[in-house]
A = this chain, B = another copy of it.
Amino acid sequence: MLKFDEQKQIDSVNGALALRGQINEIVDGFCKKGYKNICWLGIGGTYASSMQAVVHMKEKSEIDTFVENAAEYLATGNKRIGEGTVIVISSVTGSTEEMVKGVKKAQEAGAKVIGFIDKETAELAKMVDYEIAYPTNEQLKFFMVADRFMYNKGEFPEYDDYYAQMDAHLANALVEVEKCADEFGKTFAEKHKDDSIHYFVGAGNQWGATYSYAMCYWEEQHWIRTKSIHASEFFHGMLEIVDRDTAVTVFVGEDSQRPLSERVAKFLPRICGNYTIIDTKDYELKGISPEYRGNISHLVMHAVTQRIDAHLEKINCHPMEIRRYYRRLDY
């Protein structure tokens, strides 16, 4: 399989899950001292992951939690960020300008920052109040933070059982998804390699995945045009431009917003002959209980889209690491 190192991927996920001790120490500290609210601060891909954390918490929690876009925060401010605010961020490079300034501004307002900065020596890593350096697995890190906050508030009583399953089975389940999805990924990439535009639809914890897959992968890394639309909004405008040949893919997950995506998936065949439904339910996830599948739907979807990416990159002779303008021009 292209770009697939099974053991490396298993180790990567298990290594991320092993951060839980460190994460819990920090979160438990906040819960002991008390906090006012939790803000997920991001931009681009990390903004998308932040949206996923918030919708995940919203299902279960009364904790005051919200997402803030770093650039908007710098321009408009946010009076809810201040003393007692816990900010959670993630950054691969640790040098994104808006994030560096955003963290500074939030800290000046009195907030404390938990940072998952992959590069320990980066500017952001030195700035944050609590730093955990470990590569990739951004959503998994965010969800571990969210889940611990909810557990401490009595909103996630299944926490121990849930994470016992994750520790034992998640990494293997995800590589199995990749293996099962590889043939699909190849067919999908072949079919859509020349798309003039591709529409991606999603909801729930898949919405952040949909938004970032369209923007951070197809647009930024494959240079193919996309539009992402929340399944809740599809019927309120966008549907009118769909016809027989429009390329539309619906990401269907298993969390509370599954019915929103299902509704689009059910409707599309009537008006479109070029649609694809990717349903996380079609993948086994050995060892994971049915009631826990919704929480990890976005990771399952990511495992599937990784297979698309691997083939699309090869078919289109377009290495995913090249950028036309990003960090190549000043702006």
Residues of A with Cβ closer than 8 Å to B?
43-45, 47, 55, 58-59, 61-62, 64, 66, 69-72, 75-80, 98, 196-197, 203-204, 212, 215-216, 219-221, 223-227, 230-233, 235-242, 255-260, 263, 266-267, 270-271, 323-326, 329, 331
Contact = CB atoms under 8 A, between A and B. Distances in A.
Q: How many copies does the complex hold?
A: 2
A72 B232 contact: yes
B215 A197 contact: no
Contacts of A225: 197, 227, 241
A72 B237 contact: no
A193 to B, nearest CB: 15
A75 B203 contact: yes
Nearest to A79: B62
A76 B59 contact: yes
Nearest to A267: B331
A240 B69 CA distance: 20
A260 B69 CA distance: 12
Given A58-B78, A75-B232, A197-B197, 6 more contacts: A45-B237, A215-B238, A225-B227, A226-B227, A227-B227, A239-B324
A175 B8 CA distance: 63
A232 B62 CA distance: 29
B259 A75 contact: yes
Contacts of A224: 241
Contact of A260 (B58, B75, B212, B259): B75
A23 to B, nearest CB: 23
